[in-house]
Chains A and B, each alone.
Chain A
Amino acid sequence: MSTETLNPKSEPSRWSRAWNSNMGYSFRRNPVAVVSMIVFLLIAVASFLAPLIAPYDPYDPAQIDIMNSEYPPAWINGSLPGFILGTDDQGRDLWSTILYGTRLSLLIGICAVALQAFLGISIGLIAGYVGGRLDSLLMRLADIQLSFSTLMVAIIFLAVTQAMFGTDTFNKYAVVFLIAVIGVAEWPQYARTVRATVLAEKKKEYVDSARVLGFGPMRIMVRHILPNSLSPIFVISTVQVANAIISEASLSFLGLGMPPSQPSLGSLISSGFDYIFSGSWWITAIPGVVLVVLVLVINLLGDWMRDVLNPKLYKG
């Protein structure tokens, strides 16, 4: 650190600055965080490279043979050598299907959280900064939204859209519907947290001095208050990604999410559930383990981040 300030020529790169920062340091020192990060990256990279890695394309009916259905994983007697994790009830290679399914789950989780964050942060910023009647109105809206459970809203919404558009159209746009409904149902989480931090931040003098410099409210909110409210946003985001993945899995499990032809982890678990007592436990268990591991590592990362960014434990 001191050598860097003494020698202005050696401009540290962004990456090495992140690596040497407090966050980077505590990350390296925390084995749980490192392992979680590695596992998460493995899952994420593998699933997003699914078309390259997967030996079969589970969306291509030509590659699926119903005669191959319910082969067990490779380490169990009676398996077929081509299918490492066995096959599901329709004869799809389970390994490929899990890769594609994880990709869908992650995609829906992340996009839904992006939507939540966008709605929640905008509404929270405005409510906190403007205050007064608008604040009360927006926060009561949030309260109303929160008094319905996410799943209930999602089930009603998805059931109605399914009935309205018909199953075929619904299945085509299932991803979009899922993102929209999970995104809309959970925005108050963000809005409340952001509002609370904005209320604390806007009392600080740097906001006064920004106003004194003649900046408009938009600029003050987005450029001055928002960057100072980011740490709680990061923390909720990780938790919310995990929640969104679980919500998506639950909805798919209930048959309101991804169709069996394009299974996400949830619909895979659900489709295997019928066979669990006939001995084909792997169709449910293996995607279930992947889901649990995925959610667990995201939550562990969120935990670690909450500890690092907690101003009571560490002051910058």
Chain B
Amino acid sequence: MSLLSVRDLTVKFAMRDQTVTALNGISFDLAKGERLGIVGESGAGKSITGFSLMNLLSRPGYIDSGKILFDGEDVVQMNNKKLRNLRGNRMAMIFQDPMVTLNPVLTIGQQMIETLMAHRKLSREEARQIAIVKLREVYIPSPEERLEQYPHELSGGMRQRIIIAIALLLDPQLIIADEPTTALDVTIQADIMELMLELCQSNQVGLILITHDLGVVSQMTERTLVMYAGRIIESGRTREIINDPQHPYTQGLINALPQQTLPGQRLKQIPGNMPGLVSIPAGCAFNPRCKYATDFCRSRVPETEHYGKVEVACHEVQRLNSDEDRQEAQA
């Protein structure tokens, strides 16, 4: 049985004179200990997905319909008490900027011990010992001293390690990491990612990695969802998606990587911008930016269907592929 199973999740935002749909019927599964990447441009709904999984959307956002089954229980239907037990305890979240996610006026120790004591019946000393063990696990040197320090006394990489340690404090089954390394510099990014990979593998913790960095996704995850304008447009094993993307958008994303361009050439970017939630075009949301778009694409929303080894939501996949085959044959 899968650990997490999202079915037809629709999230809306109530604006003053209209409601906009931020997530439009997304469905996916996550097995125990599996690592899943969610990629897409800014505004695609990646972070909203992360927050909805914890049922933490704040006004004006709300879950309109759909189910989020975590270990067989529907998160959407949970009452506050159950939710509080879920958050931190069974599901943890890591945010983007370690500079602002720790409370500046509490010491590291206070924050960790408080978290432990809020969820478990522990004495202060026991909680302290667990905190020290967890800090060791994330390779923090001399953890006893770090417990007495305030967040501003530590570097960004160190803080993100501490945040990971806090996320792991209660041995959750799932960690949602929302762009965990965007605010760090490149060398530390690699360290942190390696650390997260190691911890997830050794503790059998599921990971949902929300990012726009395809490189990170290919290193870290087993499966990938590509999101566009609140829908999942392609999903499958990470290797298949990176090596052989089917959806024109995913292809565009991968072609836009700097590595795909020779020195001196312009980056092959996808023309145009992601549409705002208010003005999502009719039919396939990607159609104004897609060079393969037909009239059919402009009128009907594509359903997700199996194609090759992945699931993809595009009307023109088949034609596109046969075209490519023909081109390759000619060449």
Residues on A facing B (Cβ under 8 Å) = 8, 131-132, 204-206, 208-216, 219, 223-224, 227-228, 230, 316
Contacts and interface: CB of A to CB of B under 8 A. Distances in A.
B190 interface: no
B74 interface: no
Nearest to B91: A212
B102 interface: yes
Ranked 8 nearest A-B pairs via Cβ? A214-B87, A214-B88, A213-B88, A212-B93, A214-B84, A227-B105, A206-B103, A205-B100
A227 B80 CA distance: 25
Nearest to B95: A205
Nearest to B151: A206
Given A8-B145, A213-B118, A206 B87 contact: no
B268 interface: no
Contact of A228 (B86, B95, B103, B145): B103
B102 A211 contact: no
* Among B80, B85, B115, residue most surrounded by chain A Cβ atoms (within 10 Å): B115
Contacts of B86: 214
Contact of B101 (A132, A206, A219, A230): A206
Nearest to A225: B103
B54 interface: yes
A214 B95 contact: no
A223 B84 contact: no
B104 A213 contact: no
A211 B56 contact: yes
Nearest to A209: B101
Nearest to A213: B88
A205 B159 CA distance: 14
Interface in B34-79: 54, 56, 59
A223 B103 CA distance: 10
Contacts of B93: 209, 212
Most chain B CB within a 10 A radius of its CB, from A210, A213, A216: A213
B92 A212 contact: yes
Contacts of B80: 216
B84 A228 contact: no
Contact of B84 (A205, A216, A224): A216
8 contacts: A132-B59, A208-B95, A209-B102, A214-B88, A215-B118, A223-B106, A227-B105, A316-B152
Contacts of A204: 100
Given A208-B95, A211-B56, A213-B115, A227 B87 contact: no
A58 B87 CA distance: 63
Given A214-B118, A219-B118, A316-B152, A206 B102 contact: yes
A193 to B, nearest CB: 18
Interface of B: 54, 56, 59, 80, 83-89, 92-93, 95-97, 100-106, 114-115, 118-119, 145, 152, 163, 166
Nearest to B97: A205
User: Which of A8, A204, A206, A212 has most chain B Cβ within 10 Å?
Assistant: A212
A230 B56 CA distance: 27
Nearest to B119: A214
A228 B111 CA distance: 14
A205 B83 CA distance: 19
A8 B103 CA distance: 24
A209 B119 CA distance: 15
B89 A214 contact: yes
Contacts of A316: 104, 152
Contacts of A205: 95-97, 100-101
Contacts of B96: 205
Nearest to A202: B58
Nearest to A230: B105
Given A8-B145, A208-B95, A213 B105 contact: no
B88 A228 contact: no
A141 to B, nearest CB: 23
Given A206-B101, A219-B118, A316-B152, A212 B145 contact: no
Nearest to B87: A214
Contact of A212 (B59, B87, B104, B106): B87
Contacts of A208: 56, 95, 101
A28 B239 CA distance: 63
Contacts of B56: 208, 211-212
A204 B89 CA distance: 22
A228 B152 CA distance: 14
Given A227-B103, A228-B104, 8 more contacts: A211-B87, A212-B54, A212-B87, A213-B87, A213-B88, A216-B80, A219-B118, A224-B103
Contacts of A212: 54, 56, 87-88, 92-93
B51 to A, nearest CB: 9
A71 B5 CA distance: 90
